Amino acid sequence: MFTEFGRKWRSLRRTLSPGEWAARHIRPESGDDHELNVNTPGILMIQIDGLSYRQLQRALAKKRLPFLSRLLRQDHFVLKEFYSGLPSATPAVQAELFFGEKSVVPAFMYYDRSGQQEKTMFDPRAVDDVARTLEKRSNGLLRGGSSYANIFSGGADEAPFCIQSMQLRSIFRGFSIHTILWFVAVNLGKIARIIGLSALETGLAISDFCVGVYRRRNPFKELKFIFSRIGVCIVLRELVRLHVKIDIARGLPIIHANFIGYDEHAHRRGPGSAFALWTLKGIDGTIRDLVHTARRSEKRDYRIFIYSDHGQEACLAYERKAGRTIHQAVAAVFRHGPLQRFDVAEPEPAIIPHISLQQRSSGLLRRLAEQADGAGKRQDPNTDRIHLAAMGPLGHVYLPERPDASAMQYYADELVKTAAVPLVLYRRGDRIICVAPAGSGELATMAPQAFGQEHPFLAEVTRDMETICRHENSGDFIISGWRPDHRSLSFAAENGSHGGPGSTETKGFLILPDTLTSEEQLSFRPLDLRHVVSDIRNQRLPVPLSAARAANEAPEIFTVLSYNIHHCRGLDGKLFPTRIARVIDRQAPDLVALQEVDKNMRRTDHLDQAAEIGQLLGMEHRFLPLLRDQTGEYGLAVLSRFPLTATHYTPLPQLPVNGRTEPRGIIRVTIATRHGPVHLCNTHLSINRKERLAQMRYLVDQYLPGEIPASDPVIVCGDLNASLLSPAYRLLSTKLLDAHRVSATESPKPTFIASYPLVRLDHIFASRHLAPVKGQVIREGECSFASDHLPVVSTFLYDPVQSDGHRRNNHG
Q: What is the DSSP string of 135-180?
A: HHHS--TTTTSEEES-SS-TT-SB-TT-STT--HHHHHTT--HHHH
Q: What is the pLDDT, as a whole number, of residue 550?
A: 47
Question: How far is the CA of 734 from the CAs of 686, 729, 765, in angstroms?
Answer: 20, 9, 11
Separation CA 169–CA 403 (nearest Å) = 51
Extract the residue ranges of the chain whose pLDDT is less than 70: 1-36, 166-232, 348-383, 541-555, 657-659, 743-746, 799-812
Nearest to 275 by CA among 332, 226, 236, 216: 226
Separation CA 83–CA 70 (nearest Å) = 24
Which residues are within 8 A (CB) of 391 and not within 5 positions of it... i.e. 6 or more apart? 107, 108, 109, 120, 351, 491, 492, 499
Instruction: State the burial class of residue 584 (Cβ atoms within 10 Å of its Cβ: 0-12, 13-18, 19+).
Output: buried
Q: What is this structure's pTM?
A: 0.85
Separation CA 450–CA 661 (nearest Å) = 78
Cα maximum dimension of the chain? 108
Angle, CA 186 vertex, CA 180 and CA 188 arms, to 5°: 95
Tell me, which fold does domain 558-653+661-811 have in CATH?
Deoxyribonuclease I; Chain A (3.60.10)
Nearest to 590 by CA among 553, 627, 632, 564: 553
Separation CA 138–CA 104 (nearest Å) = 13
Alpha helices in 260-404 (DSSP H): 261-269, 274-295, 318-322, 326-333, 356-364
Question: How far is the CA of 677 from the CAs of 396, 450, 644, in angstroms?
Answer: 71, 63, 10
| One-letter identity of residue 538 | N
Q: What is the pLDDT, as a whole number, of residue 28?
A: 53
Separation CA 798–CA 496 (nearest Å) = 59
692 backbone dihedrals φ, ψ, rounded to 5°? -60, -45
Beta bridge partners of 624: 636
Separation CA 785–CA 142 (nearest Å) = 30
What sign does the dihedral 45-46-49-55 (CA atoms) show? negative
Beta bridge partners of 488: 315
38 backbone dihedrals φ, ψ, rounded to 5°? -65, -20
| CB-side neighbour CA atoms (13 Å) of 38 | 20
Separation CA 25–CA 495 (nearest Å) = 46
Angle, CA 496 vertex, CA 495 and CA 498 arms, to 5°: 145
Separation CA 786–CA 788 (nearest Å) = 7
For 41-312+506-537, which CATH superfamily applies?
A: Alkaline Phosphatase, subunit A (3.40.720.10)
Beta bridge partners of 477: 397
- Whether the CB-CB separation of 682 and 721 falls below 8 Å is answered with no
For the chain, first and last CA: distance in Å? 55
Separation CA 360–CA 162 (nearest Å) = 8
**How many CB atoms lie under 10 A from the CB of residue 70?**
12
Domain ranges of the chain: 41-312+506-537, 315-345+380-497, 558-653+661-811
- Whether the CB-CB separation of 98 and 154 falls below 8 Å is answered with yes
DSSP designation for 35: P
Q: What is the pLDDT, as a whole number, of residue 357?
A: 45
Phi-psi sector, 70: left (phi>0), alpha (psi -120 to 50), beta: alpha
Helix (H) or strand (E) holding 636: strand 633-640
DSSP designation for 422: S
Nearest to 150 by CA among 569, 526, 677: 526
Nearest to 268 by CA among 305, 217, 304: 217
Separation CA 240–CA 738 (nearest Å) = 52
